[in-house]
Amino acid sequence: MSDYLVRLAQQPAMRSVIKSIGLPTPQALARAEGGYAERPLEGKRALLGGAPGARMTDEVASVLAAAGSDPERADKPEPSSDVKYDALVFDATGLGEAANLSSLYDFFHPVMRRIARCGRVVVLTDLPEGEGETAAAVAARAVEGFVRSVGKEIGKLGATANLLYVERGAEARAAGPLRFFLSAHSAYVDGQPVRITSAPDMPDEIVFTQALKDKVALVTGGARGIGAATARRLAAEGAHVVCLDIPADRETLDATVAEVGGTALPLDITDEEAPRKIADFLKEKFGGVDIVVHNAGVTRDKTLANMPEHFWDMVLSINLLSILKIDEVLLGEKVMRDHGRIVCLSSIGGIAGNVGQTNYGATKAGLIGYVQAQGPKQAGRGITVNAVAPGFIETRMTAAMPFMIREAGRRMNSLSQGGTPADVAELITFLSTPGAGGVTGNVVRVCGQSLIGA
C-alpha cells in the first residue's frame, strides 16, 4: 500500500522525469514514531511574529521554548539570508479590522521561500463568532482563507499550514494544540481551522508525555485498519486499550490486543444489548472509561436508485445509530469519567457527499451534527466530543480501488499523496489527550488538505 510516486520522487534523476511528464513530485513526509517527546521541537528552527496588538505572542514563545525551540522573533522579517525555518508561527489575535491583515503579508511574504521541507505554519487568531464587532469578526475569519491558501502553496514541500482560533480567555489552552500542529505527529493534517474555547472544564496542570498514563480507552472496530493503528498509538501514550470488534474477527482482534497489551471485547455494536454489555464490562473491569473512539464503520455503496433497503439499514445502524445508543448509556450513567474524551470517525464523504454513498454520507454527516450538539452539553464535566474526518487513507479498502480512481483520490490534495492509518491515529490520539481539553465540538480533517469538500 505504499505510494510509488513518493518513492520514485526521492531519486533526483527520477524526480526530473516525473516532473517532465507533468506528474506531481510528492515529498516523503517526516512522521513521528512512538509517543510524545518532552521537547518535540528540539533542534528545530522557529520564527515567531505577531500582528500589532496581538495578545498571545509572549505566551506562544514560552510554549515553543518549553517544546525545545526558542523562537527568533520578527514581525517583519528581512528577506535576506538562506536560513530555512522548520516552523513559522504568527499571532494574529486582536487584528481588530481587515486593514490589519497586511501584518500577515509583512510577516510571511519575506519568508515564504525559507520554509524547510516538511515545515510547519501555524497561525493563531480570534474566534470570529466571539468578536462583538463586525470589523473584528471579518478580520478573524479572513485569516482562515489566508492559511488555507498558504497550505496549498507549501504542500509541495511536504509542509502544512493550520489555524488555531482561540477564544478570549482560552489562551492558556493553546499549548497542547501548538505542540501537536508544530510536531511531526501532525504530518498529514493540513489546512485545518481548530477552535479552542474555555467552555470545557480543564485541570490547570497538563502533562504532555505519557499523556494517557492510567487512562482506559475503548476503540470500536479495533481489530484492524485505523482502529488497530489507534490502539497502538493510544497504548504508546500509556493508555490501557479495550479493543472491541465483531466476534467473527476474534483472531485478528486477539493479535491486536496482544500487541498493545490491552483487553479484547468481542461484540457486535448493533447487538441490542451492546450498550448495556459495554457499560457493564467497563464498569466491572476498570471502574469506568476515559476515552471512547467510535471507529467501527462500514460502507455498502450503491446509487440510491439501486440501493437495497438492507444496505441502507446496515450502514445507518453500525455507523450512526449504535454510537448514539452506546454514548447515551456511557454518558447517562457516568461510566465515562470526568475529563473524558469521545472521538467519532466521520469522513470527507460526510462533508462533501459522494456518488453511491447516500447511506454512508448521511451517517458520517450525522456524526458531525452529533459532536457539535453533544460537545457543549458535556463541557461542564470536562468531557470533549470531537470528530475526525479522514480523506484518502492507504488501506486495504483504497488499495482495491481501480487505478485511475485511486490515483485521483491520492493526488487531489496539497501534499499529493494519501495518508496512513497511523496519520489518522495521531489525530485521534491528540484529541484524546488532556492537552486538547479546550477543543470540543470540532471536526478536524486528516486529508492532506483534500480538494474534496474543502
Active-site positions read 360
Among 89, 161, 196, 246, binds ligand NAD (CB under 6 A): 246
**Does the footprint of ligand NAD cover residue 122 (CB under 6 A)?**
no
Among 54, 196, 223, 234, binds ligand NAD (CB under 6 A): 223
Closer CB to ligand NAD, 135 or 298, in the complex: 298
From first CA to last CA, the distance across the chain in angstroms is 25
Of 151-159, 163-171, 181-189, 221-229, the segment contacting ligand NAD by CB under 6 A is 221-229
Among 245, 290, 327, 426, binds ligand NAD (CB under 6 A): 245
Closer CB to ligand NAD, 251 or 309, in the complex: 251
Closer CB to ligand NAD, 245 or 426, in the complex: 245
Structural element, H or E, at residue 264: strand 263-266
Q: Which of residues 378-437 bind ligand NAD (CB under 6 A)?
A: 390, 393, 395, 397-398
Using a CB cutoff of 8 Å and minimum separation of 24, what contacts does 109-115 make? Answer: 109/79, 110/76, 110/77, 110/78, 110/79, 111/47, 111/77, 111/79, 111/85, 112/150, 112/153, 112/154, 114/81, 114/82, 114/83, 114/84, 114/85, 115/84, 115/85, 115/88, 115/154, 115/157, 115/159
**Does the footprint of ligand NAD cover residue 307 (CB under 6 A)?**
no
Smallest distance, ligand NAD to C-beta of residue 385, A: 16
How far, CA to CA in Å, does 355 sit from each of 304, 403, 406? Answer: 9, 18, 15
**Does the footprint of ligand NAD cover residue 291 (CB under 6 A)?**
no
Of 128-136, 175-183, 200-208, 219-227, the segment contacting ligand NAD by CB under 6 A is 219-227
Smallest distance, ligand NAD to C-beta of residue 393, A: 3
Smallest distance, ligand NAD to C-beta of residue 411, A: 15
d(CA 255, CA 23): 40
Structural element, H or E, at residue 87: strand 85-92
User: CB of 421 within 8 A of CB of 391?
Assistant: no
User: CB of 222 within 8 A of CB of 255?
Assistant: no
**Does the footprint of ligand NAD cover residue 313 (CB under 6 A)?**
no
**CA-based nearest residue to 262, from 209, 299, 215:** 215
**Does the footprint of ligand NAD cover residue 27 (CB under 6 A)?**
no
d(CA 48, CA 197): 23
Closer CB to ligand NAD, 40 or 409, in the complex: 409
Smallest distance, ligand NAD to C-beta of residue 330, A: 16
Q: Is 49 left (phi over 0), alpha (psi -120 to 50) or beta?
A: beta
- Count of residues of this chain found to bind ligand NAD when the rule CB under 6 A is applied: 25
Among 27, 220, 256, 433, binds ligand NAD (CB under 6 A): 220
**Does the footprint of ligand NAD cover residue 296 (CB under 6 A)?**
yes
Closer CB to ligand NAD, 148 or 410, in the complex: 410
Question: Strand locations in 272-395, DSSP E?
Answer: 289-294, 336-345, 384-390
Question: Strand locations in 94-208, DSSP E?
Answer: 115-126, 160-166, 193-196
Smallest distance, ligand NAD to C-beta of residue 204, A: 34
**Does the footprint of ligand NAD cover residue 450 (CB under 6 A)?**
no
Among 182, 241, 278, 345, binds ligand NAD (CB under 6 A): 345
Closer CB to ligand NAD, 139 or 343, in the complex: 343
HEC profile of 185-247: HHCCCCCCEEEECCCCCCCCCCCCCCCCCCCEEEEECCCCHHHHHHHHHHHHCCCEEEEEECH
Q: What is the DSSP letter of 106?
A: H
Query: Phi/psi at 297 (nearest 5 deg)?
Result: -165, 155
**Does the footprint of ligand NAD cover residue 318 (CB under 6 A)?**
yes
Closer CB to ligand NAD, 372 or 398, in the complex: 398
Among 114, 120, 215, 224, binds ligand NAD (CB under 6 A): 224
Among 249, 254, 280, 301, binds ligand NAD (CB under 6 A): 249
Of 27-35, 64-72, 106-114, 224-232, the segment contacting ligand NAD by CB under 6 A is 224-232
Query: Phi/psi at 18 (nearest 5 deg)?
Result: -60, -45
**Interface with ligand NAD (CB under 6 A):** 220-221, 223-227, 245-246, 249, 268-270, 295-298, 318, 345, 347, 390, 393, 395, 397-398
